[in-house]
Amino acid sequence: MSRHLRAAAAVAAAAVLGVAACTAALPGIPSGTPTTVTPQTPPPGTTGLDSFYKQSLAWKDCYSGDQCAWLTVPVDYADPSGATVRLAVLKAPATGSRKGALLFNPGGPGGSAVDYVAEAPDQVLDPAVRRSYDLIGLDPRGVGHSSPITCYSGRQLDGFLALDPTPSSPAEEQRLATADEAFAQACGRNAGALLAHVSTVDAARDMDILRATLGEPKLNYLGKSYGTFLGATYAGLFPTLVGRFVLDGVVPPELTNEQLNLGQAAGFELATRAWAASCVESGACPLGTTVEEVMQGLRDLLAQLDQAPLTKTGDPSVPLLTEGWASMGVGYAMYDQGLWAQLDDALTAVVDNHDGSKLMDMADAYADRKAGGTYTDNIMQVIYAVNCLDRPDTASLADHERQATEAEKVAPTWGKYLMWSSLPCVYWPVKATNPPHKITAAGSGLIVVIGTTRDPATPYAWSVLLHKELANNTLITYAGDGHTAYMRSNSCVDNAVDAYYTKGTPPTADLHC
């Protein structure tokens, strides 16, 4: 959700499964045979959109056993007769007796659902659910294969991500502001008219057009991380069209930039302390022998890299392991406890041998970057385009400084880093259109909300908050580490979600796993 610590379920899953999230190259989708589906009546409030709702998707075989198509939607829903944009859709057909379609969003904003469903469908849904549903990946507008917003070249993005993320003097603050303003201006120059129309509301309205073209009377959905924000927004717009909905690792639509950044700072602090305890328990932690020593040692190490970056990165295209790159590598490990031993090794190499190559590898994995400077998707750029439209409360440079100072008291390791992360939105070339607001989705079907107690990117308190506000929902609490819970090794969570999707059986009220 910030410059570096995005909330994307695919990050953790890729690390655990050995699957490179968002890396498959989608073949050009040729014209196929339009599919006839049961016509769906456009819902109220969709005047002028009949042609979009009644379009037929022309599916064509792609990948191995999947089908691909293009969905056409208006660029500006206020002007449906104007320009249009095509969105990439991928379908992994049900492997057994089909009940319907289930739409998946892995998070971000900016994660490619098309790539993720193409590469790892059996890691998105349990085999029992896969037998019952066509798994659908839709790349939201501006994301992945759907007219991707790209502001910078790979080399330029390298420089942007290497910036000092925690300025500690007026001169450093101004350098960061200048760089963030340049990035925002580049987005304005290169993204075109679509830049003003990639809000979460726009993406949610696209989802309903897709629902209709799939012939689904209601939308079945699995959203992880930012995908919960997208799903909740859909539920608020179209409550009576909510089918079997699961929102895992919640981002409440009512959060301001300051609240979101502060919440993530506290979440990453909690997760980092859990890693520190594990590191100490290993008996070979390179940063100390107590949790407090390790936490301080990590802060000291990042400060040292700010002043004297390492020259050994393992990648000639990145001459220096800066604080920015190192923070990204450390943050990557917080998404899944399966990465903690890898982080221990990377930090040992830094401390003992001044070798930053392993930590740079982790930063690359987080950024979906290949050695040499090639990025496999546009998530590290489009994330700003979405967030800056969704939250109009972005503060000034002076307010960012105040917020960073205050956040450091709550989260001494991650506070400054996260609070400075939304600075590009101060200079964004288009105005925000989707102000934070509470969503009750009165009249919806049952929505299953899942929260993980030590989730770094989407703190558990956020799941509790949405649970209190949605009119018809139930909360599953997973007491554990890492980002999101479903299909991440907890059978209690998995069984409850699987039963809901396959049988319509609601999870036990206030289920704790």
Please report, for the domain that includes residue 135, its CATH number: 3.40.50.1820
Decide if pLDDT at 96 tops 80: yes
| Region 26-38 average pLDDT | 54
pLDDT per residue over 184-214, tens digit each? Answer: 999 999 999 999 999 999 999 999 999 999 9
CA separation for the pair 280, 293 (Å, rounded): 9
Confidence at residue 21, expressed as pLDDT on a 0 to 100 scale:
32
- pLDDT for position 489: 81
Structure token pair of residue 211:
């629902």
The string of pLDDT tens digits covering residues 345-371 is: 999 999 999 999 999 999 999 999 999
Angle at CA of residue 162, ends 157 and 164, nearest 5°: 130
Residue 300, both tokens: 């000291």
Count of CB atoms situated within 10 Å of the CB of 27: 12
Cα–Cα distance for residue pair 254/256, rounded to 1 Å: 7
Does the pLDDT value for residue 251 go beyond 80?
Answer: yes
CA distances from 21 to 93, 110, 114, 149, 494 (A): 20, 12, 10, 18, 21
Rounded CA-CA distance 327/347 in Å is 12
Instruction: Report if residue 405 sits inside a domain.
Output: no
Tokens representing 59 are 């599916």
CB 58 within 8 A of CB 33: yes
Q: What is the pLDDT of residue 4?
A: 37
pLDDT for 36 equals 55
Burial 120-130, CB ≥16 within 10 A → b, else e: bbebbbbebbb
Joined tokens for residue 370 = 């290949």
pLDDT at residue number 47: 81
Supply the pLDDT for residue 396. 86
When pLDDT is averaged across residues 4-24 and rounded to a whole number, the result is 35
Mean pLDDT lowest among 37-46, 186-195, 317-326? 37-46
Dihedral sign (CA 324, 327, 328, 329): positive
The parent domain of residue 499 ranges over 7-18+29-148+196-254+436-512
Whether residue 61 is contained in a domain is answered as: yes
Distance CA 118, CA 63 (A): 7
Distances, alpha carbon 202 to alpha carbons 12, 43, 114, 197, 510, in Å: 27, 16, 18, 6, 33
Note the pLDDT tens digit of each residue in 470-483.
Answer: 999 999 999 999 99
* Confidence band for 13, pLDDT divided at 50, 70 and 90: very low
Q: What angle do CA 364, 366, 367 make, to 5 degrees?
A: 65
Q: What is the pLDDT of residue 6?
A: 45
Buried b (16+ CB within 10 A) or exposed e, 61-93: ebbeebbbbbbebbbbbeebeeeebebbbbbbe
Q: How far apart are CA 297 and CA 293, in angstroms?
A: 6
Q: How many domains does the chain have?
A: 1
Burial 470-499 (b: 16+ CB within 10 A, else e): bebbbbbbbebbbbbbbbbebebbbebbbe
Averaged pLDDT for residues 268-297: 97
Whole-angstrom distance, CA of residue 51 vs CA of residue 39: 12
Whether residue 6 contacts residue 106, with contact meaning beta carbons closer than 8 Å, is answered with no
Query: What pLDDT is stored for residue 39 in this prediction?
Result: 59
DSSP 45: T
pLDDT band for 34, please (50, 70, 90 cuts). low
Note the pLDDT tens digit of each residue in 76-93. Answer: 999 999 999 999 999 999
Residue 14 has pLDDT above 60, yes or no: no
HSE on the CB side for 153, CA within 13 Å? 3
307 falls within a domain: no
In a domain, 408, yes or no: no
Task: Quick: pLDDT tens for 495-512.
Answer: 999 999 999 999 999 999
AA letter at 195: L
Residue 392 banded pLDDT, cuts 50, 70, 90: confident
pLDDT higher than 50, residue 401: yes
Q: What is the dihedral of CA 371, 374, 378, 384, to 10 degrees?
A: 70
In this prediction, residue 38 carries a pLDDT of: 67
pLDDT at 393: 74
Residue 45 lies in a domain: yes
Mean pLDDT (whole number) for 14-41: 46
- Check residue 24 and give its pLDDT: 35
In a domain, 463, yes or no: yes
What is the average pLDDT across 391-401? 84
The mean predicted confidence, pLDDT, of the chain is 91
pLDDT of residue 45: 74
Q: Which two tokens stand for residue 16?
A: 């655990």
Would you say residue 374 lies in a domain? no
For residues 267-285, give the mean pLDDT: 97
Question: Is 47 among the domain residues?
Answer: yes
Average pLDDT of span 44-70:
92
pLDDT tens per residue, range 230-244: 999 999 999 999 999
Give the integer Cα–Cα distance in Å for 178 and 157.
15
Cis, bond preceding 74 (omega within 30 deg of 0): no
Q: According to the model, what pLDDT value does residue 43 have?
A: 85
Cα Rg of the chain (Å, integer):
22
pLDDT of residue 37: 64
Instruction: Give the catalytic positions in this structure.
Output: 225, 455, 483
